[in-house]
Amino acid sequence: MRRVSIFGATGSIGQSTIDLIARTPEAYDVVALTGGRNIARLADDAVRLGAKLAVTAHDGLLDDLRAALAGTGIEAAAGESALIEAAARPADWVMSAIVGAAGLRPGLKALEQGGTLALANKESLVTAGPLLMEVARAHGATVLPVDSEHSAIFQALVGEDMSAVERIIITASGGAFRDWPLADLERATVKEASHHPNWAMGQRITIDSASMFNKALEIIETHEFFGIAPERIEVLVHPESLVHALVGFRDGALMAHLGVSDMRHAIGYALNWPAREALPVGRLDLAGIGQLNFRHPDEARYPALRLAREVMARGGLSGAVFNAAKEATLDGFIAGRIGFTGMAGVVEAVLERIGSNEGLIDANMTLDNIRAADHVARSLADEEMRERAA
């Protein structure tokens, strides 16, 4: 029996992970499940999977969770320290699927136990890639990518030497507004941005796909995870979302990874790695699809891509600043404080204001310094949004 824990179990990735695990419950010993406000779902899944522990991120919901688990023998806990404590419980495989920078500390704690971390939470690589990879190395832990593009790259690299890699191409669907005239983007609503043409995902990553902030995070994720130079990472808009990524080698060969748009493929690959097991995902009918399209992204439409390159060039804690400013600005868009096209300007202004603050950006990559950079970035984003609203 493999001991598994799922962080962010109630979300989109968490539910897909549970779907796979629940197919062979006898193979897994579920250590901990964590969630947020959806107590009913968290409790139901904990009971169904026979989890030892269920944790909600919200202190105020502890009584609700306890009530939902009464008589089941499943331990209930709440709050950030309970999440960290859950991550410290030994497990062979841990899914990191909390959304946002909040996923960093539980992920690091899980790595300290030396098992395998299946990493959907790209924000932790953007915020603290070098720290995360160093903690994994120091504890003999394994990090496996779960983002579809990064799982695709990882699979294309099996048996290859990184020194033979010339470039990596990640694809982008273009998100909800890829076919909108540029002038209309200004009036795009939260509802419109929350609908992805190809993938069913959590609301935040769906909006980030429309603005390409998601792709911006993924460029940095590629750089941090695979250790490839920023100028060797390319983005292609590919509206069909069937080719997830391509790796170009020095002999000119391109290895592409294709599959239907179903995250259970990438999750299942990380779950079964290094084996490749049967998965309940659809099979591609290429003749039925007929054609695949690719084009260069329009930088005027997607300034987030340029910002990602500036962040990688600046280095240090600028990834933490970028991610935090992006999260705060996304909160602002969802709350109606700023328009869709205003988001990139706010993030850029925060990066500019903090970029010259060497004490902050070039400080050692410790959790305390990351938290400080994150905090300053969020309050500056707030200030920038207030100024624009005035």
Give the closest residue to 149 by CA, choosing from 248, 16, 261, 280: 261
Contact string (CB under 6 A) for ligand NAD, positions 27-66, x = contact: --------xx--------------------x---------
- Min dist. Cβ of residue 236 to Mg ion (A): 14
261 binds, among ligand NAD, Mg ion, none (CB under 5 to 8 A by kind): none
Q: Which residues 6+ apart lie within 8 Å of 20 measured at CB?
A: 264, 267, 268, 271, 279, 280
Cβ-contact 351, 307 below 8 angstroms: yes
257: which strand partners? Answer: 245
Site membership for ligand NAD, residue 14 (CB under 6 A)? yes
Give the closest residue to 213 by CA, choosing from 204, 202, 222: 204
Site membership for ligand NAD, residue 8 (CB under 6 A)? yes
Among 205, 228, 247, 311, binds ligand NAD (CB under 6 A): 205
Query: Using omega within 30 degrees of 0 as the cis cutoff, is the peptide bond preceding 274 cis?
Result: yes
- What is the Cβ-side half-sphere exposure of residue 260, based on CA atoms within 13 angstroms? 12
Segment near ligand NAD (CB under 6 A); pick from 21-29, 93-101, 317-325, 333-341 = 93-101
Q: Is 12 annotated as a binding residue?
A: yes
Kindly tell me which of 123 and 147 has the beta carbon lying closer to Mg ion.
147
13 binds, among Mg ion, ligand NAD, none (CB under 5 to 8 A by kind): ligand NAD
Distance CA 369, CA 127 (A): 11
Q: Is 215 annotated as a binding residue?
A: yes
Q: CA triplet 220, 223, 226: central angle to 5 degrees?
A: 135
Among 199, 334, 337, 383, binds ligand NAD (CB under 6 A): 199
Cβ-contact 29, 56 below 8 angstroms: no
Q: Is 168 annotated as a binding residue?
A: no
Q: Is 211 annotated as a binding residue?
A: no
Site membership for ligand NAD, residue 74 (CB under 6 A)? no
Q: Using CB under 5 A as the criterion, which residues of the chain lie in contact with Mg ion when the complex forms?
A: 147-149
Kindly tell me which of 173 and 361 has the beta carbon lying closer to ligand NAD.
173
- Min dist. Cβ of residue 202 to Mg ion (A): 12
Q: What is the largest CA-CA distance in the chain?
A: 62
Distance CA 378, CA 105 (A): 18
Place of tokens 């941005």: 193
Per the annotation, binding residues for Mn(2+) are 147, 149, 218
Q: Which residues bind ligand NAD (CB under 6 A)?
A: 8-14, 35-36, 57, 97-100, 102, 120-123, 147, 199, 201-202, 204-205, 263
